Amino acid sequence: MGDLARELERRRTAAAAAWDVHDAVVLVEAGAEIPVPGRGDITYPFRSHSEYLYLTDRERPGGVLAFDPDEGWVDFVAPVTATELLWSGLEGDREGVPDGTRPVGDLEGWLRGRPARRLGAAADADTALRDALIRVRRPKDDLEVGRMRRAVAATRAGFAELAGAIRAGRTERELQILLEAAFLRAGGDHLAFPTIIAAGDHSAVLHFSPTARELRDGDLLLVDAGAECGGYAADVTRTYPVGSGFDAAQRVVWDTVRLAGEAAIAACRPGVMWHDVHRAAALVVAEGLRELGVLRGTPETLLDSGAVTLFLPHGVGHMVGLGIRDAGTASGETRGPEGGLPRLRVDIALEPRHAWTVEPGIYLVPAILDGARGRRDVAWDRVDGLAGFGGVRIEQDVLITADGCEVLTADIPLN
């Protein structure tokens, strides 16, 4: 048995134990291709549901992985057709279903009217089973970490290509093309998410899409991108100066974000709650914003009052791995917004082999600041003097270890 087959068996055994189901079968659905409205036979790129991919490693629509507490696992697959082979190729495939699987048309007869609880792409997914599987999926196994490292390597190649090409006159779009081509050349299968490239004031928009805007000397350039390998993602942000270097305010902000990331990473170890990782970063951001002359008060007070969140309006990171949002929130695990912090997608205690992004930022977002004009802990003259500043974010991917964490993206230069 190869490494993959052994790992799939381990994952399935762990899932079955976590589900502890006796009175029903479990059906994990891959999902179907989604037509682009009005575009005939054109569909959106297909990705198997993460739960199905985790348990089968198969990127193919229409499949259902079934678990019967007595019979064990039965892998129902959509048979490959001659038409598919003609139009899509499906390298290495032949008509029919792979050895050890059954055609999905057999599923209805196999079910024999037994009660079924559904997961994966099913519209009526079972929350208790999903929560249990999320917890099984969170510690990344060696196969997953290996794919994440490949994704990071491809991402590193892209950032290297891009960093050497930053200069006034280039457009956001030109840099996107260089970066993405290098991802694919270096072994990436896909982009992990739509590339964010934002120059000047565009960098205050958290998920900005690149445009034909030309870079200008003195701009900040924020790049947030990642390659995906075998379903596994890297998610990396760097913020660069365009021209001869950062100006004074940009330098304070960039140094603060770097230090905030370092403080958050230093806090990453088993047992620590994610909101405490956020707080570690946010306290450094408070200090930096005082130094910049934008906030007045003590860091703790500025955090609790929500003043820091005006400038760091997102959680400090998220789980990453199988896709850019891996093994997300199980029931009851979101937090806030409360206690001055922004909403956190997930707030749990860190465990060994968890993979997280750590991505503090500081942004001057006009829409947020306009709504906070009455506040006395913000120096509005200074804020107005920074109009058009944009934002800075630095994002690393970390793997929690027995007593701390490994920064998987440490080899991608910060600027």
Give the residues lining the site for ligand GLY (CB under 6 A). Answer: 193, 224, 235, 359, 395
Report the C-alpha gap between 225 and 361 in whole angstroms: 15
CB of 298 to ligand GLY, least distance (A): 30
CB of 393 to Mn ion, least distance (A): 8
Unique residue bearing structure tokens 């099913």:
122
The option from ligand GLY, Mn ion, none interacting with 51 (CB < 5 to 8 A, set by class) reads none
Number of residues near Mn ion (by CB under 5 A): 4
Report the C-alpha gap between 204 and 121 in whole angstroms: 34
Residue 326 engages Mn ion in binding (rule: CB under 5 A): no
Alpha helices in 117-247, H assignment, sequence order: 127-137, 142-163, 172-185
Give 110 or 193: the residue with its C-beta nearer to ligand GLY: 193
For residue 271, give every residue at least 6 positions away whose Cβ sits within 8 Å of its Cβ, in sequence order, or none: 349, 350
Report the C-alpha gap between 79 and 101 in whole angstroms: 10
Environment class of 282 (CB within 10 Å of its CB; exposed 0-12, middle 13-18, buried 19+): buried
Report the C-alpha gap between 320 and 354 in whole angstroms: 9
Give 356 or 389: the residue with its C-beta nearer to ligand GLY: 356
CB of 100 to ligand GLY, least distance (A): 37
Preceding amide of 139 cis, omega within 30: no
* Residue 192 identity (one-letter amino acid): A
Residue 144 engages Mn ion in binding (rule: CB under 5 A): no
Cα distances (Å, whole numbers) of residue 204 to 197, 220, 293, 294, 310: 11, 10, 19, 16, 12
Give 326 or 359: the residue with its C-beta nearer to ligand GLY: 359
Residue 287 engages Mn ion in binding (rule: CB under 5 A): no
Of 224, 228, 347, 397, the residue at the interface with Mn ion (CB under 5 A) is 224
Residue 235 engages Mn ion in binding (rule: CB under 5 A): yes
Residue 397 engages Mn ion in binding (rule: CB under 5 A): no
Give 213 or 345: the residue with its C-beta nearer to ligand GLY: 345
The option from Mn ion, ligand GLY, none interacting with 193 (CB < 5 to 8 A, set by class) reads ligand GLY
Of 155, 357, 396, 409, the residue at the interface with Mn ion (CB under 5 A) is 357
Site residues for Mn ion per CB under 5 A: 224, 235, 357, 395
